Amino acid sequence: MLTIGKVARRVGIRPSAIRYYERQRILQPTVRGANGYRSYSNDAVKLLLFVKRAQSLGITLKEIKPLLNLASLGQRPCSHVKQLARNHLREIEDKIRELQALQHELRRLLRRKAGPPHENEVCPIIERSMANLD
């Protein structure tokens, strides 16, 4: 059995994250020893590594919880994971398009010369680029 500190080090998270996962019912609360310390099995480490990896792929805890529930029922949630991956990939591709458009606009802005400001202009480069959008 492992202490919360050892589990945290093995997984690469803080002990407070483990306690949070317990409160959120991602990780089942453990029994405490006579000393009052939580003790965890290697299965807890595996589960937390899964959670950490899933989060690194953009899967939220809200999305992870049903996956773990399916797994606890003996079902493999791989088809659900693939659907989540498709959805996240679509969101990322949309965001990349938005960022590329922003990148293009910023490059255009950097090529502009400021010129003399008109009355009440803060920065002609920005304000004139807004006028070009109209």
Q: In this structure, are residues 106 and 78 in contact, taking their beta carbons and an 8 Å threshold?
A: no
Tens of pLDDT, residues 80-113? 999 999 999 999 999 999 999 999 999 988 888 7
The whole-model pTM stands at 0.75
> Is residue 133's pLDDT more than 60?
no
Question: What is the token pair recorded at 128?
Answer: 């004139």
Mean pLDDT over residues 6-28, rounded?
94
| Three-class DSSP labels, 10-74 | HHCCCHHHHHHHHHCCCCCCCCECCCCCEEECHHHHHHHHHHHHHHHCCCCHHHHHHHHHHHHCC
Domain extent listing, the chain: 1-58, 77-134
Q: So what's the pLDDT on residue 50?
A: 96
Phi/psi for 4 (5° steps) reads -60, -35
- The domain defined by 1-58 folds into Multidrug-efflux Transporter Regulator; Chain: A; Domain 2 (1.10.1660)
